Chain A
Amino acid sequence: MTTITTGATTRRRRPLLRRMALAAEPYLYTIPSVFLITIIMLVPLVIGLSYAFRDITLLDPFSGGFVGLDHFREIYADASFWNALHNTVTWTVTSVVLQFGLGLILAMLLDRPFPGRSLIQALVFLPWAVPSFLSGLNWAWLFNPVVGPLPYWMHDVGLMSAPDNILSDPNHAIWGPIVANVWWGIPFFAITLLAALQAIPKDIYEAAAIDGAGPFERFRSITLPFLAPTIAITVLLRTVWVANFADLIVVMTKGGPADSTQILSSYIFTQAFQRLDFGYASAIAAVLLVLLLAYAFALVVLRQTLMARN
């Protein structure tokens, strides 16, 4: 805003064409991205949403007709859907809470200068670079008693009565992908929270210390309020990503055993590519999209209310 007005006052009475070019300028910078996102993401999204109301089954030439809300009625009566929804909540909440908590601790450890900091920082951030399917395979190997040490360690510590594969135990299998996800996702939170921590002016802490505030008090009254905006946006984005994130589950357990690790996004994957029922898969995806939008909206409204109160 300021740049345009200062630019306009330095040279008065521009010709019309020049003024039009100035007005168009912000659009010229943003149009390539808008164009690409529209063609490759939004148009397919609308088509995909339309599938939710149609009978689209791959390889069936008679499919394609409009079925109205049939898929949604089917979802309502589908026990596997409710099971997957339940697992989605467990998976998302546990993963995000652990990733965030550990990421915050790691960021605070890396915030102060100490010898070797840059090397340690690079090393602890490394899991983020590991492709998600590979981290899934890798953790599946670690949990596998044939090549991996984890079952033996858990047996030694007394967590397990025998060195079995946790991924084949319906009661605990979900912890396999969760551990892999936490391992992979800590660096994301650590990077963004570390950046936010480094932006806090250090003299505020000194002033608070002189006033007699202890470490916990300083964390509560300085660090947390400064981090709040970053926490809000990263937790929002991350929750949505994790809820949609099927790679680790598909690679590690394929939703099994006995659907105990099936989350909505892996269930959609199964419906689309094993049953080839794109209509039903799209209907579930639409439900998931609505749930996530409602969550995001609620979080944004909550943030506005909290900010208005301060």
Chain B
Amino acid sequence: MRAYSLRRTSYWVFHYAMLAAFLAFALFPLFWLLKVSITPNDLLYSEGVRMWPSRTTLDHYVSVLQHTQFPLFFRNSVIVSGCTAVISTLIAAGAGYGFSRFQFRGKFWIVGIMLVTQMFPLVMIVAPIFRLLAPLGLTNSLTGLIIVYTAFNVPFASFLMQSFFDGIPKDLEEAAMIDGATRFEALCKIILPLTLPGLAATIGFVFTAAWSELLFALMLNSSNAASTFPVGLLAFVSKFSVDFGQMMAAGVLALIPVCGFFFLIQRYLVQGLTAGAVKG
């Protein structure tokens, strides 16, 4: 019995030690970002590499918010990512439900095409998309970005939604349909409320992806008025490449909404995928 509990204790010590190593690896870069963003410029170079500066300041944040266009980029990013997340999730919910509940002619091809879209280098379609959107006045506009991002995110979001729907028993809407509801009514009134965690996870996932996108944001918009956060940060880097403090402050600001969102949804992501995995 004692040998057993000793083994058990040493197992948990090992378990927590490993987790601590993963935590350190995951969080240290973020900690460093935060640390440099509140280090005064005169200490950044003079103190060498220290874990915590002897003095801290919020100057970098103040100057990013007051003297740069980041508030505008921030607003643009929120609009683009928010709209993309909601629209993609609605469209993907339809596709995911279709994949989960029906066998139909052409399903194999639709799923196959969605998989293939994950395989080609997006650089290849930047120029054609530009040519397609320019005559419609959709370049240099947030609407154009929303349309493009929605299309990019729908395939993966559809597979994600399918796995959430797979976790909900079919009997539920069948019962409602026997009681006289149409399938669409059953979907809206019974199934969607049950899959709210799945919808939340998909919205969060797409929001995160859209918030990070750099290539298309860079190529489709040449004006500052329609630029998003990543473009602003990249331009900022080449423009003020010496001011690490301000860059890091802008980086921390870019992280706040997306990390908050992800922190809230990651539990649902695991739960939803678990439900899907049961069905294989």
Footprint of B on A, CB under 8 Å? 1-4, 6-7, 10, 25-30, 32-34, 36-37, 39-45, 47-49, 51, 56, 58, 102, 105-106, 109, 112, 114, 118, 120-135, 137-139, 141-142, 146-149, 152, 183, 186-187, 191-192, 194-196, 198-199, 229-230, 237, 240-241, 244, 246-247, 251, 264-265, 268-269, 272-273, 278, 281-282, 285-286, 288-289, 292-293, 296
Contacts and interface: CB of A to CB of B under 8 A. Distances in A.
A49 B124 CA distance: 8
8 contacts: A1-B103, A3-B173, A102-B22, A127-B26, A131-B211, A131-B214, A134-B212, A195-B272
Contacts of B33: 138, 141
Nearest to A281: B123
A308 B108 CA distance: 20
B94 A30 contact: yes
A37 B151 contact: yes
A109 B11 CA distance: 11
Given A133-B233, A269-B123, 20 more contacts: A3-B102, A3-B174, A26-B101, A27-B98, A34-B110, A41-B151, A42-B113, A43-B128, A48-B125, A121-B266, A130-B30, A141-B32, A141-B33, A186-B26, A195-B274, A196-B277, A273-B219, A281-B124, A282-B127, A293-B119
A284 to B, nearest CB: 9
Interface in B112-143: 113-129, 131-132
B152 A199 contact: no
Of all A-B residue pairs in the complex, the 10 with the closest CB atoms, nearest first, are A195-B273, A40-B151, A131-B212, A129-B262, A29-B98, A44-B128, A26-B102, A285-B124, A47-B128, A44-B125
Interface residues of B, number: 98
B266 A125 contact: yes
Given A3-B170, A198-B274, A129 B258 contact: yes
A135 B177 CA distance: 49
B27 interface: yes
Interface stretch (B57-65, B67-75, B243-251): B243-251
Contact of A45 (B15, B19, B125, B271): B125
B4 to A, nearest CB: 13
Contacts of A105: 18
A292 B229 CA distance: 31
Given A134-B233, A148-B49, A126 B154 contact: no
B200 to A, nearest CB: 14
